[in-house]
Amino acid sequence: MLLSAKTAVVTGSNSGIGLGVARALADAGANVVLNSFTNSEDDHALAKSISNEFGVNVRYIQGDMSKADDCRALIEQAGACDILVNNAGVQFVAPVDEFPPEKWDAIIAINLSSAFHTTAVALPMMRAAGWGRVVNIASAHGLTASPYKSAYVAAKHGIVGLTKTVALETAQEPITCNAICPGYVLTPLVEAQIPDQMKTHGMDRETVIKQVMLERQPSREFATTQQIGGTALFLCSGAADQVTGTTISVDGGWTAL
Ligand code: NAD
């Protein structure tokens, strides 16, 4: 199998896109480390069920990606990290002059700084193993902006910059670093925005989805977590050996506008 004997660490992977990517990597034979800030029975049961489904080793390691020490400890506890998927992310929406400073700090820490800390610890492991892949889950908001999402847009533009820098620092090694830029994917993070958007725009659920949320996504379809998982898998394949320092949009045409 494509990824047998590889270990993949996916941050923020007990739901949504991270879970979709973790499942795709497990399906290709990788052993997987799941992560989130919680430490519940459900988290460990999820690891067991993916392990049973795909016949690979799956562990759940608790770690709060807003904390530098937890980010670094996650990779150390994983013991190996051939594939690092920096996915953990949160969102908050408010005009910049009303944006709570603690929300700004949390978004920058979880969506951007965590990737710096995990990558810093993972790269020496990849070098020792003679192969590595860093896949950063950025966003269409890593390439374009929207009002009221200052911290998120800043963090996602930042992770695209980090991606390019890490790619240049590893360009002559068998290691690549790329960012996937999804448009809207229907996950808990997006689901949580729907009630606010309905209130703001005075619209019902279907109308707010098609006319507001997917207004910039020309396909008018959400991307799926399976599609993001498949894109990550491509980046881990031999076909992508020379793909580094770039962004791959999975956004139904959003950034073509
Ligand atoms: P989600 O809420 O389903 O998943 C977020 C994950 O991050 C969860 O597993 C959550 O537990 C974890 N997480 C949150 N705070 C954490 C912390 N402090 N420490 C560790 N883990 C933490 O949302 P999602 O939509 O799957 O988002 C995943 C990534 O994809 C994010 O980086 C997000 O910005 C990005 N993204 C999502 C969309 C979308 O439309 N859903 C679009 C573009 C980019």
Each residue's pLDDT, cut to its tens digit, for the chain (257 residues) gives: 899 999 999 999 999 999 999 999 999 999 999 999 999 999 999 999 999 999 999 999 999 999 999 999 999 999 999 999 999 999 999 999 999 999 999 999 999 999 999 999 999 999 999 999 999 999 999 999 999 999 999 999 999 999 999 999 999 999 999 999 999 998 987 888 899 999 999 999 999 999 998 999 999 999 999 999 999 999 999 999 999 999 999 999 999 99
pLDDT computed for residue 189 by the predictor: 72
Distance 13 CA to ligand 1 centre (A): 8
Q: Which of 60, 148, 152, 184 is catalytic?
A: 152
Q: Which H/E stretch holds residue 31?
A: strand 31-36
Q: How many other C-beta atoms are found inside a 10 Å radius of the C-beta of residue 161?
A: 12
Q: Which H/E stretch holds residue 134?
A: strand 132-137
CB 34 within 8 Å of CB 61: yes
Q: How many other C-beta atoms are found inside a 10 Å radius of the C-beta of residue 70?
A: 19
Range 7-185+223-256 classified under CATH 3.40.50.720? yes
Residue entry with tokens 């937890």: 70
- As for ligand 1, residues whose beta carbon falls within 6 Å of it are 12-18, 36-37, 64-66, 87-90, 110-111, 137, 139, 182, 184-185, 187-190
Distance 130 CA to ligand 1 centre (A): 30
Give the tokens for residue 66.
């807003």
> Rounded CA gap, 104 and 99, in Å?
7
pTM assigned to the model: 0.96
